[in-house]
Amino acid sequence: MTRPIAYLSPRADAQAPFAGLVPDGLNLSTIPERALPDQPPDRFGALLVPMHIDQRRFAAAGPWISKFFQAGGTLVFNGLLAYPFHPALARFQPLARPRVDQFRVRIMADHPVWRGVDSDDLTFRRGVAGFYGRGCNPPPPGARIVGTIDHGRCRIDWQWHPPEGGRLLMHAGNDLWMYARDKNSAGALTPQLLRWCAAEETVS
């Protein structure tokens, strides 16, 4: 039986913003960020972390996160990393005085989450560039680079297998699920992300 997916909520009473769009057959739970250390690390197959959590609190849960990875968990982190929660991670590096052309997203590798998504639909949202991200959380050695900005130089999306086990999917920008209700190809990101999480180690 597939373990449920958990959304880490910055608020005690909040649901995932995409709660009504979960594909059939997938189980989504919401956990207030304060309650994370009280959860068994092997309870969930995936943990979705939005950009507006308290990063200091999340980093302090490093021992729990390590056990989560040891249990084969998938962690999806969104946002500008200020307090690394794993020794191999580094702080966010912003683009310096970026121009519009530097915000253009390039998908560099085939990945189930981004499959079939037009990079222009990620670059421009409601006619404006820059929503997707404006810098990177530097990837550790061995990470698989998926998406870039700044003409391929800034590695904004990557997947990494921590030495403890499990998977880390990093997106150094606004939450990937902000596109969940978009009417173009970017709307596929959220259901594809959830299916990839539910597949655990059976899908790259």
> What are the tens digits of pLDDT across the range 67-105?
999 999 999 999 999 999 999 999 999 999 899 999 999
| pLDDT of 12 | 84
Number of H helices, E strands in the chain: 4, 12
Percent of the chain at pLDDT > 90 equals 91
Closest CA to 132 of 171, 163, 100: 171
Per-residue pLDDT for 201 more than 70? Answer: no
Identify the CA nearest to 23 among candidates 195, 164, 203.
Answer: 195
Q: How far is CA 81 from CA 21, 200, 203, in A?
A: 27, 24, 26
Each as own residue / partner, the long-range contacts of residues 122-127 (CB below 8 Å, 24 or more positions apart, any chain) are: 122/147, 122/179, 122/186, 125/179, 125/182, 125/186
Identify the residue with better confidence: 133 or 126. 133
Write the Ramachandran bin of 133: left for phi over 0, alpha for psi from -120 to 50, otherwise beta. Answer: left
Please state, in angstroms and rounded to a whole number, the distance separating the CA atoms of residues 145 and 56: 26
pLDDT value for 200: 61
Instruction: Give the model's confidence band at 203: pLDDT under 50 very low, under 70 low, under 90 confident, else very high.
Output: very low
Question: What are the tokens at 133?
Answer: 């991200």
Q: Are 83 and 51 in contact (CB under 8 A)?
A: no
Rounded to a whole number, what is the distance in angstroms from the first to the last CA of the chain? 19
Confidence of residue 2 (pLDDT cuts 50, 70, 90): confident
User: In this structure, what token pair is assigned to residue 201?
Assistant: 């180690």
pLDDT category, 38, cuts 50, 70, 90?
Answer: very high
Summarised one tens digit per residue, pLDDT across range 173-197 is: 999 999 999 999 999 999 999 999 9
Looking at residue 1, what is its pLDDT? 52
Higher pLDDT, 204 or 166: 166
Fold category of 5-202 in CATH: Rossmann fold (3.40.50)
CB atoms within 10 A of CB 98: 16
- Report, as an integer, the average pLDDT of 137-145: 98
Least confident of 126-130, 151-155, 193-197: 126-130
Q: Which pLDDT does position 47 carry in this prediction?
A: 98
Mean pLDDT of 11-27: 90
* For the chain, domain boundaries: 5-202
Residue 144 has pLDDT above 50, yes or no: yes
Give the model's pLDDT for residue 106: 98
What are the angstrom distances between the C-alpha of 16 and each of 32, 41, 53? Answer: 11, 20, 13
Cα distances (Å, whole numbers) of residue 17 to 80, 148, 188, 194? 19, 25, 15, 13
